[in-house]
Structure 1
């Protein structure tokens, strides 16, 4: 059995499980964090403040760039004001893009 995935694929979409750090010194996708309960989360740092949705917009921007998908394909579906978030990617190619990101992070 491999590492737990930081995303779950659905029908035409994928849900990403994130751990977001706002007010960071740089915007970056840092890697995968395995929690004590065995759940995997993608660690994302953003320079934006955690106010009025600024950090969420920055998270969408960094994911959009990393996955080469439009920002309109992303929506925060859980954890809007929390560090642990679930972001839904509505795109038929989402699973392939996320699998590629997972492989890049593992290397």
Structure 2
């Protein structure tokens, strides 16, 4: 799977602290992938449909790109089927 094509990605590298919990609001099946940081909430839109965890994987990759870390360092902790998700950063 290729990297999601996103422009103007905000720098969320300050969230890359070991064992940090990152809460995000997700919109699957969007017209284009995007990430924004508004009022303390990270909003992530992905074009992938929410089928079989594919959207969760796409969100993890977009979040990792914004944090400037490898996607393998992030794991979904809460919200497998919810639009509100919590990822945990397992730093190197």
- Normalized against structure 1, the TM-score is what? 0.65
Structure 1 stretches (4+) deviating beyond 4 angstroms? none
Structure 1 unmatched runs, 5+: 1-8, 34-39, 93-107
Q: Establish whether residue 61 from structure 1 lines up as the match of residue 67 from structure 2.
A: no
What is the match of residue 34 of structure 2? Answer: 28
Structure 2 unmatched runs, 5+: 1-14
Comparing both chains, which one has the higher relative contact order based on Cα–Cα distances under 8 Å and sequence gaps of 6 or more?
A: 2
**Over aligned residues, Cα RMSD in angstroms?**
1.7
Equivalents in 2 of 1:31, 1:41: separation in Å? Answer: 6
What is the match of residue 83 of structure 1? Answer: 83
The structure having more radius of gyration, on CA atoms, is 1
How many positions carry a matched residue from both structures? Answer: 77
1:16 counterpart SS class: strand
Equivalents in 2 of 1:52, 1:82: separation in Å? Answer: 13
1:25 counterpart SS class: coil
Q: Establish whether residue 48 from structure 1 lines up as the match of residue 48 from structure 2.
A: yes
